[in-house]
Amino acid sequence: MKIKVLAENRVANDDFIAEHGLSLYIEANGKKILFDMGKTDAFVRNAQHLDVDIPGIDFAVLSHGHYDHGGGLKKFLELNETAPVYLSKYAFGEHYADNSARFIGIDRSLEENNHLVFAGDYLKISDAFELFSFNECERMYKTEVFALTAKIDGEFIEEDFRHEQYLMINENGKRILISGCSHKGILNIMEWTKPDVLVGGFHFFKVDISDGKSEFLDAAATVLNDYDTSYYTCHCTGEEQFEYLKKQMNNLEYISCGDVVEI
């Protein structure tokens, strides 16, 4: 399996465009996959430097309905006229940040596009590729919402991230989980899936480590170390939070735009 990072908060070198977002190109089981499309069309320009043919992608997955992961969806649909795009049936919901002050959802004018395939709690693309939302699973570990809300039936509620899904890839006897932001809690996701490899954001970037110490991150590192898993993280984990975790986790690496990972 090969993963090329097409969009991320930081870049491997000056050839690439950085943005607050995520987009991963994945080659696995003979398929070419796009996981998320970043905040803008920067993933397309970055793809050129990594020899990625966007029109040749076999299928795409949108992890959740936030602008920094689905902002490039329109551009992808323009460039690729054949690939299905798998997304949660809740992806086009009304998602907000800053206690409902700022809309952070995706372009609802795209909702009727006939290339979109809406998934429920589970969707089997093939034996090699599965999508999970885990909306019915118990969240054993408390997660911080960070002032994110959703508007449902005209009322603002605390976000439950029902629109977030995860891609499980089964290849060569390994289970590789791809996550966007892990809003439902990286520790919960690990409890539900126990993959050999996990790639994605942990959503720790707002965890306070200003005094050089975080009991929350210490506890998270302890739990993550209990699994026989290799971690490749990015985006919403936070650079300072990553460096803090890295001191306790030898199996944790950061991936930036332009990086290529072989698993």
User: 167-213, pLDDT tens digit by residue?
Assistant: 999 999 999 999 999 999 999 999 999 999 999 999 999 999 999 99
Task: Return the residue matching tokens 């397309």.
Answer: 44
Gap between the Cα atoms of 18 and 164, Å rounded:
23
Q: Looking at the predicted structure, is the pLDDT value of residue 143 above 90?
A: no
The confidence band for 163, taking pLDDT boundaries of 50, 70 and 90, is very high
What's phi and psi for 99, nearest 5 deg? 55, 50
pLDDT of 263 higher than 90: yes
Q: How far apart are CA 136 and CA 233, in angstroms?
A: 26
CA 166 to chain CA centroid, nearest Å: 8
Bridge partners, residue 240, by sequence: none
Q: What is the pTM of this model?
A: 0.97
- Asked if 108 and 85 touch (Cβ cutoff 8 Å), the reply is no
Indicate the pairing of strand 102-103 with strand 94-97: antiparallel
pLDDT of 81-136, one tens digit each? 999 999 999 999 999 999 999 999 999 999 999 999 999 999 999 999 999 999 99
Structure tokens at 178: 């791809």
Which helix (H) or strand (E) element contains residue 263? Answer: none
Calculate the CA 81 to chain-centre distance. Answer: 23
Check whether 160 has a pLDDT greater than 90. yes
What sign for the dihedral angle of Cα 109, 181, 232, 31? negative
- pLDDT tens by residue, 44-79: 999 999 999 999 999 999 999 999 999 999 999 999
Distances (CA, A) of 86 to 35, 37, 61, 154: 10, 12, 5, 27
User: What is the pLDDT, as a whole number, of residue 133?
Assistant: 98
Q: What pLDDT does residue 259 have?
A: 98
Mean pLDDT calculated for residue range 215-240: 98
pLDDT greater than 90 at residue 145: no
Q: What are 238's two structure tokens?
A: 């936070």
Report the alpha-carbon distance of residue 186 to residue 192 in Å, rounded: 10
**3-class state of residue 191 by DSSP:** helix
Whole-angstrom CA distances from 54 to 62, 66, 83, 202, 223 are: 15, 21, 10, 27, 37
Q: Which domain holds residue 156?
A: 2-262
List CB contacts of 146: < 8 A, sequence separation 6 or more: 203, 206
- At 18, list the tokens: 């950085």
- CA 109 to chain CA centroid, Å, is 22
CATH number of the domain that residue 127 is part of: 3.60.15.10
Q: Is 153 left (phi over 0), alpha (psi -120 to 50) or beta?
A: left
Total domains, the chain: 1
Closest CA to 94 of 38, 154, 22: 154
Q: How far apart are CA 35 and CA 234, in angstroms?
A: 14
